[in-house]
Each structure stands twice: as C-alpha cells, then as structure tokens.
C-alpha cells in the first residue's frame, strides 16, 4: 500500500491561527498531500494522506520551520496505510477549538496534559479485570453514537451523543447513575484528541482516578491489536472504518 495516512494533534498556544493557514495549505499542495488540518488558538488537529516522502517532508516542515517556533518538535503521529488516496481535497481551516466541546477548561489542555494510560498497560488491566490497585475499570467511549455502533471496547459505557459538545451533560448524568468515583475510568476516542478534554472535565467533576487511552483507538490497534475490542473503528476519510489490523473494512461511506 503506497499511501500513508497520518492522524495527529497537539494542544499548544497558537496566538494567530490565521497566519498559519495559507502556508500550511500551500506546503501540503506542493507535496501533493490531501486531508484536513484544523487550526485554533488551542492548537492543531490534522488528518493527512500521501506518499511516504511527502508525509516525511511535511512533518519535518512542521517540526523545523521558524514559522511554528518549535511548537511541534514532539508531535506524536498515528499511521495507517491504504492503496488509494482517501481524501478528495486539501482543507486547512480556522476554528474556535480543534475539537468542539464548548466548555472552558481550567487548566486548558495546552497547559496541562490529561493523565494517560498506555495501550499495553490498558490491555494488562483488561486482561486482569481490574487496575493495578484492584479497582474496577470503566471504559468510557467519548465518541458519537454512530461511531460507537461500528465498534467499541467490550462492555464500554457510551453516552448516546451526536456531537462532542454534548459530552459534559451526558457524562454527569452517567456519573449520577454509575457512581464513577468509585472506579477507575479510562476514556477513549479515535485518536485521543477528544479524551484530552474529556479527562480534564472528569477531573473537574472530582473523579479521583481517570485516564485517557494514550493515542486513542488507533494507537491501541497499532500496539496491541484487537484484544477486548469488538467491531471496527470509524475514521474520518473515505476508508470509513478500520479493523484492528488497521486495514480498511468493506463498509462504504454513506452519501451525504
């Protein structure tokens, strides 16, 4: 498979996102990359696809160009592969948030990273049925309802939401019903960006042991496969969904 697909985000202060929009788009077009980059004062979120040399060149540009002042030197990237380009065009857009929650975070994700558990450690916990302290684990799916229908972790709690901005109200209701403070809560999403905010919100709620799955479902598939997972994972391009081997499934994206 000749096309490299990358997903990455970083919460970092971006004082004037509009100044980055055209340079980023121009560089992607010059490298024949396609996908989506979202810029906001709180950071960057991107899904890109192209041939390996172009992906490598673009990541080097992000990490070394003076325009970005070293903000992306430690950018973490998830990779998967496809035979064809899964995006139809290149879009770089300005937004208020790189993932819309509509809830002010104190501290914001660019100042404090949410506690995380690695894919390997999570698998250990799920294999045992509890964390290292013997606490019951609740897997909390922060994704939208249609994503959950395609696949999720075994016995995961979902919130029946249509958009992430509904998360705060929905998780407070779940906490009232499930008494999450007595358990270890591991939130997860596709690539991790939603959980950066979700876990900080759970901490605001006063929950004592909350973690995000580091790197999200895609990193979990990459490092440990499909253990404790059922179904597929929705992705935001024309591949529609990936199986635990990070291969596109036979599903076809519905026409809008």
**CA separation for the pair 148, 83 (Å, rounded):** 26
Asked whether 217 and 235 are in contact (CB, 8 A), the reply is: no
Please tell me which residue in 28, 108, 189, 233 is annotated as part of the active site.
189
Exposure b/e, 234-250, CB count within 10 A at least 16 = b: bbebebbbbbbebebbe
CA atoms within 13 A on the CB side of 134: 0
User: Quick check: bond before 39 cis, omega within 30?
Assistant: no
Is residue 189 among the annotated active site residues? yes
Residue listed under structure tokens 């990237």? 77
- Cα(135)–Cα(125) distance, integer angstroms: 10
Q: What counts of helices (H) and strands (E) characterise the chain?
A: 7, 14
Cα dihedral 212, 218, 223, 225 sign: positive
DSSP run (H or E) holding 185: strand 184-188
DSSP string, 35-91: EEEEEETTEEEEEEEEEHHHHHHHHHHHHH-GGGTTTTTT--EEEEEESS---SSEE
The residues annotated with a catalytic role in the active site are: 189
């Amino acid at each position: 498979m000749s096309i490299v697909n990358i997903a990455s985000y970083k919460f970092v202060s971006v004082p004037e996102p509009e100044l980055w929009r055209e340079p980023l788009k121009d560089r992607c077009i010059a490298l024949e990359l396609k996908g989506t980059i979202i810029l906001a004062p709180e950071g960057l979120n991107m899904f890109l696809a192209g041939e390996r040399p172009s992906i490598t060149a673009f990541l080097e540009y992000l990490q070394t160009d003076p325009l970005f002042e070293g903000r992306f030197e430690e950018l973490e990237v998830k990779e998967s592969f496809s035979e064809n380009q899964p995006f139809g065009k290149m879009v770089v857009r300005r937004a208020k948030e790189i993932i819309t929650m509509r809830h002010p975070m104190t501290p914001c994700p660019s100042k404090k990273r949410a506690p995380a558990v690695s894919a390997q450690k999570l698998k250990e916990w799920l294999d045992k049925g509890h964390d290292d302290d013997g606490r019951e684990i609740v897997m909390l799916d922060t994704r939208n309802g249609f994503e959950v229908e395609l696949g999720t972790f075994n016995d995961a709690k979902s919130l029946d939401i249509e958009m992430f901005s509904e998360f705060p109200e929905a998780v407070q209701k779940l906490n009232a019903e499930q008494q999450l403070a007595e358990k270890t809560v591991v939130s997860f999403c596709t690539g991790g960006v939603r959980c950066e905010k979700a876990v900080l919100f759970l901490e605001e709620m006063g929950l004592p042991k909350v973690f995000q799955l580091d790197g999200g479902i895609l990193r979990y598939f990459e490092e440990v496969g499909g253990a404790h997972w059922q179904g597929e994972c929705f992705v935001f391009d024309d591949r529609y969904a990936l199986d635990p081997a990070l291969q596109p499934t036979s599903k076809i994206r519905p026409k809008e």
